[in-house]
Amino acid sequence: MKKEILTSARTGDSCIHVKHSSGLDIYISEMNDFSSIEALIGTKYGSVNNIFRNAADSDYTTVPEGIAHFLEHKLFENEDCGVFELYARTGASCNAFTSFDKTCYLFSCSKNYEENLEILLDFVQKPYFTKENVDKEMGIIGQEIKMTNDNPEWRVFFNMLRGMYHNHPIKTDIAGTEESISHIDADLLYKCYDTFYNLNNMVLSIAGNISADKVLEICDRCLRPSEDKGLETVFPDEPDEIVTSEITEKQPVGASIFQFGYKCTPSDGEQRLRDVAAASTAAALLTDPALPMCERLLKEETINSTFDGEVFYGSGYFTVYFSGESDRPREVRDALFEEIDRLINEGIREKDFQRIKKTAYGMMIRGLNNVEAVANLMLNAHMDSVGPYDTIEVLSDLTCDDVIDYMRRELRPDRSVLSVITKEA
């Protein structure tokens, strides 16, 4: 078992990283001035990971869309009783989620963390899939898919992604489709579980009022050694060009909504951290109500307080997008085109840049004093193959020129997509 202390040179915060003999990566932050505990165990397995093979496999396996989310649902059900029932007895709150590139199981508590951790480590290593419980879940998830398909915010987002991506599975709903999940059975679930829930592909992150020695003692007792199978995931080739520049749909909404995004170059590791820092700062500058563009659009009632910008990224995809309510979304798009062009040519005022940067830095520092945020920080950093405190370093070194250079390279009109849902007549 390899153990190391990871420390932020800027803040002095630290955590423990252990490569456990079972194959599991473990991150521990002892925050003994707090009363709560947050723990997550995650696997690098999300909705986009539908083509894969292990080193011993001669061919790739392709599975139905939505199977990662389906597996997450079923892992909460074991042969004896449901996991929610077990946590109810200890007083903990538990949950799980599947994103595009990860699946996580978590609990929060203020006491009995040892027992709660044992429950967590136990059930993620004990899958129980049968034809009966798979068939039952099929109807439940089918209803969930119908509900999200009727959600305007969900549709406007995925319409934007479908306008950007030709082949990448990011354009498909995390839960899949009613047709795709109909092909899921117990054998396929076991295949995916055995592949992706190998401890060498997983990470445990725990923070709060805990003892690192006690956490590792529980892990020694509960974790079963796993052989690294040499997992490889692949994605279809994706061109740089977008599919279409505009998608409009009518829905029964109270106000028209839009999402306008740029298909950017994907990246990994430290380069992704630098790209996210530059892109996030650009998005914050472009949506700041104190700056001229937003001030004008608000005054003209082209946008309202819902106008916002975000960065969305993962394996093989990266987009900077803007969203909000507007009856004139094309005017918003054109204003963004003009403002980005102006900032590239005239530069960003240093005082505006520093204000945005300091706000982002302050939020990161505040997060280090939040148990839930620290647990998520450690897990997400590992999933992204960077250190827990690397983001702080990258943001600290960010300059105006970095942001301008990113806008010049990536925020290109020919790679932009406007998705709109308008009110029905």
Label the pairing between strands 246-251 and 416-423.
parallel
Three-state SS sequence of 260-296: EEEECCCCCHHHHHHHHHHHHHHHHHHCCCCCHHHHH
Q: Cα 425 vs. chain centroid, distance in angstroms?
A: 36
Here the tokens at position 348 are 């960003």
Judge contact between 191 and 229, C-beta under 8 A.
Answer: no
Here the tokens at position 423 are 């009110």
In the block, tokens 């932020």 appear at: 8
How far is Cα 88 from Cα 263, in angstroms, rounded to an integer?
44
Judge contact between 285 and 324, C-beta under 8 A.
Answer: no
**Nearest Cα residue to 283 out of 410, 375, 128:** 410
Here the tokens at position 80 are 């004896």
**Residue 259 φ/ψ, nearest 5 degrees:** -140, 130
Q: Three-state SS for 131? A: helix
**Residue 60 φ/ψ, nearest 5 degrees:** -75, 150
Cα dihedral angle (307, 313, 318, 322), rounded to 10 degrees?
0
Judge contact between 87 and 119, C-beta under 8 A.
Answer: yes
Beta strand spans in 277-347 (E): 308-314, 317-325
In the block, tokens 């005022």 appear at: 349
Sheet with 51-53, edge to edge strand ranges: 61-62, 51-53, 232-233
How far is Cα 113 from Cα 36, in angstroms, rounded to an integer?
9
How far is Cα 302 from Cα 330, in angstroms, rounded to an integer?
10
DSSP code, position 6: E
Q: Three-state SS for 207? A: strand
Here the tokens at position 375 are 């647990």
**Which H or E element spans position 9?**
none
Q: What are the catalytic residues?
A: 72
